[in-house]
Amino acid sequence: MLEPTIKTTATYQRDRETVIALTQKLVRIESVYRENDPHGNEQEVANYVAQYLQASGIETFVEEVVPGRPNVIGIIDSGKPGKTLLFEGHTDVVTEGNREAWTYDPFGAEIIDGRMYGRGTNDTKGNLACMITACQSLLLDGEEFTGKIILCIPCDEEGLMLGIKHFIRNGWADGVDGAIICEPQENNVCIAQRGAIRLQVDIFGKMAHGAISWSGINPNWRMARLIVELEKLEKEEQARLGRDPMLNWPSITPTILRAPVKGDAQINVIPDHCMTTLDIRTVPAQDHDELLGKIDAIIQRLQADDPDFQVELTVLDNRPATATAKEQPVVQAIYEAVAEVTQKEPIYNGVPGATDGTFLHVHGIPIVTVGAGDRELPHQIDEYVDIEELAETTAIYRLAALKFLAGDA
């Protein structure tokens, strides 16, 4: 007779139905942050989550980070001394973009052939629903554990991560022994993530007629020279460091490029101002201060060759790369839970982008990132998550919490 598995239990089937329904509800509450739009932020979804937690018997706190953008915090305290485990999953989602390009309503959460479609199904409302359902399941079944669980449900992960910074600043992360970051990683056990430096580069010139170019100073030529030098720096860093086994290559990517920065562009007018943004992604072997120093050295060299090279460099965000040892109890708890639930050998991997876990790591908390959803699907048209993967992830979170808080991991 075959041994029963976690997937054959009544708990698994109950939680499967719960997580599907909760994910649909969360996705249908539009929580794209749109500046100056009271209906386009995280307020409504945060209110729903807070009420849902309270109805499940979870002590709940709501803290406004900035107007209309609250964090929700849930606390499940066993009343027994022990470790503290934190689950983190954000409420905001990126814009849906052109709705007409979607096959399905981006906020409809329709289920088609075993997949749920919609903005946030993958990143990361599906995983938010998994972590809530997993904790609710522990309470429903009266599971015994020690210590406590904190549910961290912040706003603004997709922006400047104001929510997690506020959460840490207000002391909620103090004393946490391990954190599970609930992001779409195909249930790989991700123990590293790339760092991020976001820079704005402004180069200033003198406006003039395009036919009388010598009467102006064209910032576009200066920006072009800088971008070429930055591409060389990217290749030098890649050659120096090689390919990281979990995170691939470090990168320097110009994203926004705008000239003029204000006013209308015209083909026969030299602009007085050119701006670009740089999305720099790093690996743990890179030192951010050293890398910024290399960029500054490039600028100084270009300025030495050109007295009209006027540039301002602004650091918009600076998040270090992270790495967590496989031996950490929170990593072992997730590894064992993935193995038991999926009946497969877990895969160690890294997160290609940054998460809220970056700041928990800086705060001294061991982090591991794991969750349902295709790793390369976030922010795309027709975003989706597989229904069965939601059920698996819920069971993984549930079992990992028991392992970590029983002291078995």
Determine phi and psi for 401, rounding to 5 degrees.
Answer: -65, -45
**Collapsing DSSP states into helix, strand and coil, what is residue 192?**
strand
Strands 178-181 and 84-88: parallel
22, 35: one domain: yes
Please name the residues in contact with 85: beta carbons below 8 A apart, sequence gap of 6 or more.
Answer: 147, 148, 149, 150, 176, 177, 178, 179, 180, 330, 401, 404, 405
What's residue 31's pLDDT?
93
132, 25: one domain: yes
297, 210: one domain: yes
What's residue 409's pLDDT?
41
Per DSSP, the residues of 132-143 read HHHHHHHHHTT-
Q: Considering the chain, what is the average pLDDT of its residues?
A: 95
Q: d(Cα 154, Cα 134) in Å, to the nearest integer?
A: 18
252, 226: one domain: yes
Boundary residue ending a domain (264, 294, 319): 319
**Collapsing DSSP states into helix, strand and coil, what is residue 362?**
helix
| Contact by Cβ (8 Å): 126, 385 | yes
57, 127: one domain: yes
HSE-up of residue 68 (Cα within 13 Å, Cβ side): 12
Read off the CATH number of the domain in which 250 is found: 3.30.70.360
Q: d(Cα 67, Cα 41) in Å, to the nearest integer?
A: 10
Spatial CA neighbour of 126 closest among 9, 28, 48: 28
Spatial CA neighbour of 237 closest among 289, 199, 297, 294: 294
What's residue 354's pLDDT?
85
Q: d(Cα 186, Cα 112) in Å, to the nearest integer?
A: 19
| Contact by Cβ (8 Å): 348, 326 | yes
Boundary residue ending a domain (293, 319, 345): 319
What's residue 252's pLDDT?
98
Q: Domain for residue 363, yes or no?
A: yes
Please name the residues in contact with 29: beta carbons below 8 A apart, sequence gap of 6 or more.
Answer: 44, 45, 48, 107
272, 395: one domain: no
What's residue 408's pLDDT?
45
Q: pTM of the prediction?
A: 0.90
What's residue 407's pLDDT?
55
Identity of the amino acid at 51? Q
- The H or E element spanning position 276 is strand 273-282
| Contact by Cβ (8 Å): 15, 395 | yes
Q: d(Cα 150, Cα 166) in Å, to the nearest integer?
A: 15
| Contact by Cβ (8 Å): 309, 201 | no
336, 382: one domain: yes
306, 328: one domain: no
Q: What is the domain extent for residue 277?
A: 195-319
Q: How many CB atoms lie within 10 A of CB 118?
A: 29
Tens of pLDDT, residue by residue, the chain (409 residues): 345 789 999 999 999 999 999 999 999 999 998 876 655 579 999 999 999 999 999 999 999 999 989 999 999 999 999 999 999 999 999 999 999 999 999 999 999 999 999 999 999 999 999 999 999 999 999 999 999 999 999 999 998 899 999 999 999 999 999 999 999 999 999 999 999 999 999 999 999 999 999 999 999 999 999 999 999 999 999 999 999 999 999 999 999 999 999 999 999 999 999 999 999 999 999 999 999 999 999 999 999 999 999 999 999 999 999 999 999 999 999 999 999 999 999 999 999 888 999 999 999 999 999 999 999 899 999 999 999 999 999 999 999 999 999 954 4
End-to-end CA, the chain:
30
| Contact by Cβ (8 Å): 97, 17 | no
Q: Domain for residue 1, yes or no?
A: no
65, 76: one domain: yes
Residue 77: strand pairing partners = 148
How many domains is the chain partitioned into structurally?
A: 2
Boundary residue ending a domain (292, 319, 346): 319
Spatial CA neighbour of 311 closest among 173, 171, 163, 202: 202
What's residue 352's pLDDT?
86
What's residue 2's pLDDT?
43
What's residue 380's pLDDT?
93
Q: How many CB atoms lie within 10 A of CB 215?
A: 11
311, 367: one domain: no
What's residue 41's pLDDT?
76
pLDDT per position as a tens digit, 247-298: 999 999 999 999 999 999 999 999 999 999 999 999 999 999 999 999 999 9
What's residue 1's pLDDT?
37
Q: d(Cα 100, Cα 298) in Å, to the nearest integer?
A: 44
Read off the CATH number of the domain in which 29 is found: 3.40.630.10
204, 342: one domain: no
Strands 310-319 and 195-204: antiparallel
65, 165: one domain: yes
